[in-house]
Amino acid sequence: MDLGSAVAGLTAELAVDSDLAPLLERFLIAILALAGAQAGAVRVLTDDGKSMRLVAQHGLPADVQSAERLVARDCGMCGAASAGDVLGWVDDVKTCAKHTDHAYFGTQCQRVLAISLPHGGQVLGIYNLFFDSDASINPQMETMLRLIGQLLGLALHNARIERERLRVTVMRERQEMVNEVHDTIAQTLAYVRMRLPLLNESMLAHDDQRSLKYLSDVKMGVGEVHDKLREVMTYFRTRMDPLGLLHALQGVADGYFDRVGISLEIRNSVHSLNLTDEQEVQVFYIVQEALANIAKHSMARRAIVSIARDHQQLEFRIEDDGLGMDEPSVSTLVTLAKGLAPTNHFGLDIMQSRAKRLGGSLVVGPNDGGGTRVRLLLPVAQARQGAGGL
């Protein structure tokens, strides 16, 4: 294999692959073939900087893998490689044997090479090559291995950025959930609390008409709190797909029929949505709530989520062929039979609020030929720049 084409191939994989562990293992397989090594390992520095953690390997015996899972940062040549941009040989492989009882170092492994993984003036870890003979490498191969170390360092750097992005996204989602709990559940519970003394007074006065009125108010409030708590728990369990909104929606569609018995199709005519991470989360929750309403109330056989764009707006349309908004569903009739006020509009209010945060609008109405249509409209300029207040 030509060394230049090998580096080009590895760089291409680095650019498109989002799953770090398999990527690192494929890197190692290619590196071992280039260098003539029998095994390889990639180690990253722990957050406290005191140890190196094994994150990928190829060719190491299971016992050695277990023993090498976590090693001290100051361990010999590996420690030197973790402290600066270094490519160096381990002088005595028997020093590596102190980590394990396995007779690997000094028998199956005769030499170990340690190469730094630098990025931006910082060393993020190292990778090792294990040779079964008294091997050596030429200057051209040494340059190649250093370059590969830089590519791996870039991969680790990007992985850290992605983890931080996901952490910030999750924290923001949780704060939004806290705000919604305060704005809806707390207010509803306060309303219920004010109604309970009135209910008690009416019951003591044997005023059946007022008692039934206040009892209905309490039931309605408890029902709203129940629905909101279910929504909060669902959203905390539902993690936004790191591959983005379109991938997340397709994942919902793939399992929708098995869960609710309604076929769901995703139709997308937009090449690039140009939405920020925060906007994608909000759009996903709006579509998710619309699909939940279809499952609970529509008695539909088929639903479609379509995505379209023109010069002025980005449109997400959720349609079904069910009963429509003017016809009572089975769940609504059961709710009414129990004396509870239906709470369908509670979820709609939340969807409207999310659309407003996005700088867009939500339109709900009848679908052509029957059923319901929900349209989320986002101005194109807003979609490009990111919604304020998120």
Q: Which fold has domain 240-390?
A: Heat Shock Protein 90 (3.30.565)
Nearest to 118 by CA among 86, 140, 89, 144: 86
Q: Is 388 exposed, middle or buried (0-12, 13-18, 19+ CB in 10 A)?
A: exposed
Contact 65, 28 (CB under 8 A): no
Could you tell me which residues are beta bridge partners of residue 308? 315
pLDDT score recorded for residue 75:
85
pLDDT score recorded for residue 346:
47
Sign of the C-alpha dihedral computed for residues 296, 299, 304 and 307 taken in this order:
negative
Q: What is the mean pLDDT of each run of 10 residues along the chain (390 residues)?
A: 51 53 81 91 88 91 88 88 90 79 85 92 92 88 90 82 71 70 74 90 93 91 80 57 80 86 92 82 88 84 92 91 64 40 55 86 88 90 46
pTM beyond 0.85, yes or no: no
Where are the CATH 3.30.565.10 domain residues in the chain? Answer: 240-390
Q: Which fold has domain 3-162?
A: Beta-Lactamase (3.30.450)
Contact 218, 198 (CB under 8 A): no
Contact 152, 27 (CB under 8 A): yes
Question: How far is residue 114's CA from residue 120's CA, in Å, rounded to a whole number?
Answer: 19
- Beta-carbon contacts of residue 315 (< 8 Å; ≥ 6 apart): 306, 307, 308, 309, 375, 376, 377, 378
Nearest to 378 by CA among 283, 267, 288: 283
pLDDT score recorded for residue 42:
92
Cα–Cα distances (Å) from 207 to 185, 201, 217, 362, in that order, read: 29, 9, 16, 43
pLDDT score recorded for residue 374:
93
pLDDT score recorded for residue 13:
54
Residue type, 73: R
Where are the CATH 3.30.450.40 domain residues in the chain? Answer: 3-162
Contact 102, 60 (CB under 8 A): no
Contact 38, 109 (CB under 8 A): yes
